Chain A
Amino acid sequence: MKRRTFLAQSAAAGTVLASGLATRAMAADPFKVGYIYVGAVGDGGWNYQHDQARLAMEKHFDGKVKTSIIENVPEGADAERALTQLALAGNKLIYATSFGFMDAVIATAKKFPQVKFEHATGYKLAPNVSTYSARFYQGRYVIGTIAGRMTKTNKIGYIGAFPIPEVIRGINAAYIAAKKVNPDVEMKIVWAYTWGDPGKEADAAQALIDAGVDVLMQHTDSTAPMAKAKAAGIVAFGQASDMAQYKPTPRISAIIDNWTPYYIDRTKAAMDGSWKSEAVWYGIGEGMVKIGEITDAVPADVKAEALKIKDEIAKGTLKPFTGPLNKQDGSVWLKDGESADDGTLAGMNFYVEGIKSDIPK
């Protein structure tokens, strides 16, 4: 194709597109909302949970909202294209549900100032970009308590995705809680270097089981570690979604991401024009983090203790990161009664005292 005709065609296409959008708006068609996922919606964890919330949100608006998705989007150049495709298709609000989409979101948002973007777990804002994340560490503190009580070998295994602040925060929270109820507890950490890859996650789980752990926690998306835990006869916790098919053991409880209320709120705000750019960080209190049913495999007194802690966190009377706490190197981090501020938590790149391994550099 000659360049001139190409440009003429693009211009024509642009006009068609613009007029098409105008007629659509006049006909009061549904408000279009797009989603991109880093993995498959069927992963049973992170992406699945976002997609469930999307469907619930769409149902809530009963025909007034129409959603489209693009799944398995690699982070980087492909993410920018997927976001642009969604914007060009007339979506007015776009949710990007993985940290690695951050720069792509900011770049696309610049090209489409009239489209609103919501980026999960990122830290870059723009006039039409908000960020949202959940205080998963609050949930980790609750299941950390259960883990500390349940372990017989005093070894808890933890599968980390990437050594980034969000994951490190979870490890610290779980360890602090477990150590409070069981001073002899030891945390064994394996890095999978993936958010979701059943093969690698299963390998990580097996390595931890071989090292003698009898309670398994994961910060990766699939149910593969759960299957390994079942085969080894140890207990584990659901991650991101309930993973209820593994009840009552090995899954003895779960941290559930509940995005539905947030998606409904923000979509409504985008529809009625009250949407503002902000950084949201909700926890158990706001209902964004939920604790999945604690099964009967957990003794009643431990269950009661965990639920009490959950309620205190929800009320704000218990903050997981409260002193006296030292960093891994023994230096003082928080003095007695002092609680960590959100800035420190957001950029956390150190272990607390007592964790034996090192953060990969």
Chain B
Amino acid sequence: MLRLEKRPMPSRFWTAVTPVLAVILTMVAGGILFALLGKPPVEAIRVIFWDPLFGANNFYTLPQMLVKAGPLILIAIGLSLGFRAGIWNIGAEGQYIMGAICGAAVALAFYPAEHWYIFPLMVIAGALGGWIWAMIPAVLKIKFGTNEILVSLMLVYVAENILSWVSFGPLRNPQGYGFPGSRNLQQYPSAHNADLIPNTGLHWGVVAAFLAVIGAYVLLNRHILGYQIRVAGQAPRAARFAGVSPSRLFAFCLGTSGALAGLAGLFEVAGPSGQLSPDFNVGYGFTAIIVAFLGRLHPVGILLAGFLMALTYIGGELAQLSLNLPSAAIQAFQGMLLFFLLAFDLLSNYRVRWKEHAAKEIAK
């Protein structure tokens, strides 16, 4: 009989190995799924994982991975700070939307004037929009003890309705024949978040994502606030005795994750997406939760996880068009990745033992 035994400390070895193991098992299980659908499994896995990186069109797919991974990493880094401290911001999608709306509103207020300071102002507005949206659950939690999971999640739907309203109303393109959606910011040079080096996918949002990774790493390892975050997550009571103020920590973690999500939204609306429309948000805020956990809430891990997730998106599209795999199969494949990862978490926190063996040890 197999028996699970809790480890006194999570195993460092298994913590590092399980993500790799999860990816390999996802490939195996995904391969079986694709084979059942009548598609060549090895080729499908190759198309998803290999072709975006080394295929004939990688001069296009590699930059696109940056475009896709950038917002995921930026949001996930913010979320990971709170998650480490046991503060659950589930509403990054809403903060992402509000950042995009505020940033785009600043740009459209200046349209069609061209000034160097428009883009910096948009960045500030984007961060502020996301920050305010995240401070609502923070303040409600601090003042009234409401549940931040519920409040932040519900505010996503509020944000979606605001997005729809501005797309049809105040921010609608006056030259858009009555169709919903703002002007395209890609056609407004002062507001356009263009590739810093053309055709590399490297726009300001990707730069911000890299900076966030470095910033989070330094914060968690070298700063007292990072220490407090870690202690609060591992031993809340000890943290309180050590003089950590739960309210301040709450405001900091929710505010920071909100601001980063807002920035991601701003960089997206000013860059790859170009315009606000009722369908502007495509779920980055929710996918980033997966990325944060896939990366073990560790800044470097999140960086890698963001790229892995982007890879499955780009590779998934390639598999659709070259092998006619249905998109639902790709989504199931992505789901498997998270499933295996969480399942293998067991190995970092528990030891698997044969029951007899364990019994013998007790007898000794």
Contacts and interface: CB of A to CB of B under 8 A. Distances in A.
A70 B56 contact: no
Contacts of B274: 76-77, 103
A13 to B, nearest CB: 5
Interface in B242-283: 268, 272-275, 277-280, 282
Interface string A81-98: 110111011000000000
B58 A9 contact: yes
A34 B328 CA distance: 19
Interface stretch (B108-116, B140-148, B314-322): B314-322
A86 B57 contact: no
A69 B180 contact: no
B168 A163 contact: yes
Contacts of B321: 34, 68-70, 85-86, 89
Nearest to A343: B177
Contacts of B320: 68-71
A80 B178 CA distance: 23
B179 A81 contact: no
B279 A75 contact: yes
B168 A360 contact: yes
A77 B279 contact: no
B349 interface: no
Interface stretch (B11-19, B59-67, B291-299): B59-67
Interface in A76-128: 76-78, 80-82, 84-86, 88-89, 99-100, 103, 107, 123
Interface stretch (A14-22, A134-142, A246-254, A276-284): A14-22
Given A40-B327, A76-B279, A361-B168, A13 B317 contact: no
B40 interface: no
Contact of A349 (B164, B178, B318): B178
A105 B169 CA distance: 25
B174 interface: no
A285 interface: no
A76 B277 contact: yes
A164 interface: yes
Nearest to B170: A361
Given A76-B277, A77-B273, A86-B321, A162 B180 contact: yes
B317 A85 contact: yes
Given A162-B278, A346-B177, A81 B322 contact: no
A123 B61 CA distance: 29
B278 A193 contact: yes
A70 B315 CA distance: 12
Contacts of B279: 74-76, 100
Given A76-B280, A165-B178, A88 B60 contact: yes
Contacts of A153: none
Interface in B322-343: 322, 324, 326-328
A78 B179 contact: no
* Chain B interface category by residue count: 35 or more
B184 interface: yes
Contacts of A324: none
A357 interface: no
A316 interface: no
Given A72-B327, A75-B277, A76-B280, A17 B57 contact: yes
Q: Which among A6, A85, A193 has the greatest number of chain B C-beta atoms within 10 A?
A: A85
A100 B181 CA distance: 9
B310 to A, nearest CB: 11
A86 B317 CA distance: 10
A78 B168 contact: no
Contact of A40 (B62, B64, B67, B328): B328
Q: Which among B59, B168, B184 has the greatest number of chain A C-beta atoms within 10 A?
A: B59
A10 interface: yes
A89 B322 contact: yes
Nearest to B64: A81
Interface string A346-361: 1111000000000011
A361 B169 contact: yes
Interface in A191-208: 193
A103 B277 CA distance: 12
A171 to B, nearest CB: 14
Interface in A48-71: 68-71
A6 B62 contact: yes
B58 A88 contact: no
Contacts of B64: 81
A17 B56 contact: yes
Nearest to A77: B272
A164 B56 CA distance: 41
A106 to B, nearest CB: 9
B56 A16 contact: yes
Contacts of B282: 74, 76, 78
Contact of A103 (B60, B164, B177, B184): B184
Q: Which among B180, B317, B321 has the greatest number of chain A C-beta atoms within 10 A?
A: B321
A99 B177 CA distance: 13
Given A88-B57, A361-B169, A81 B317 contact: yes
A103 B180 CA distance: 13
A16 B59 CA distance: 12
A17 B60 CA distance: 12
Contacts of A103: 184, 274-275
A197 B4 CA distance: 43
B163 to A, nearest CB: 10
A127 B135 CA distance: 49
Contacts of A349: 178
Nearest to B283: A74
A70 B317 contact: yes
20 contacts: A11-B59, A16-B56, A20-B56, A40-B326, A70-B320, A70-B327, A71-B327, A72-B327, A72-B328, A76-B273, A76-B274, A76-B282, A77-B268, A77-B273, A85-B61, A89-B321, A99-B179, A103-B184, A348-B178, A361-B168
Give 10 nearest A-B pairs by CB, closest first: A10-B59, A77-B272, A74-B282, A72-B327, A349-B178, A68-B321, A76-B273, A88-B57, A77-B273, A71-B327
Interface of A: 6, 9-11, 13-14, 16-17, 20, 34, 40-41, 68-72, 74-78, 80-82, 84-86, 88-89, 99-100, 103, 107, 123, 162-165, 193, 346-349, 360-361
